[in-house]
Amino acid sequence: MIKDVIIKKINKNEDRRGWLAEIYRRDEIDFQPAMSYVSLTRPGVIRGPHEHKYQSDCFIFIGPGNFELHLWDRRAGSQTKNEYLKIKAGETNPVLVIVPPGVVHGYKCLGSQDGLSINLPDKLYLGKDKKGELDEIRWESDLESPYKIN
């Protein structure tokens, strides 16, 4: 595990109509989203790795599709500095994962099916009215990056 990363199993309540799943409850997790977005990723495509200085991401991988989520702790002073964690997430393992600032993260869509992910970050992308600075350190374009997803 990586300190301050939260992984919550999501239960799908299924019946003849399909399924329903609670993905976030503020009485279970002390986290306050500022916005949300949904992302579709094609099979074999990698998103990231990158990290944020200030933002925490709250990813929901519930399907369709499956992912391999990679996390690296880069935080100075963290009890788990330099730790690496790989999680299979999505349709076969529905989870919510909160990634704090300073933890490098990225994911790859597995199999032959498009994958859907939802993110509820605690900061607004580019700040209020999209007039702020970008809070991302992009590792995927750095050829010397120690953070690789294959």
Can you list the domains of the chain with their CATH numbers? Answer: 6-122+133-138 (2.60.120.10)
* Pick from 6, 28, 15: nearest CA to 87: 6
* Pick from 95, 75, 86, 107: nearest CA to 4: 75
Q: Summarize pLDDT for 4-25 with one digit per residue, the tens.
A: 999 999 999 999 999 999 999 9
pLDDT score recorded for residue 114: 98
Beta bridge partners of 58: 98
Where is average pLDDT lowest: 74-78, 88-92, 139-143? 139-143
Residue 29 pLDDT greater than 90, yes or no: yes
134 Cβ partners below 8 Å, 6+ apart? Answer: 126
Q: Are 68 and 97 in contact (CB under 8 A)?
A: no
DSSP string, 72-100: EE--TT-TTTT-EEEEEEETTB-EEEEE-
User: What share of the chain in percent tops pLDDT 70?
Assistant: 100
Q: How far is CA 81 from CA 7, 51, 75, 96, in A?
A: 18, 14, 6, 22
Residue 141 pLDDT greater than 90, yes or no: no
- Residues 117-128 have a mean pLDDT of 96
Cα(66)–Cα(112) distance, rounded to whole angstroms?
Answer: 9
Residue 75 pLDDT greater than 90, yes or no: yes
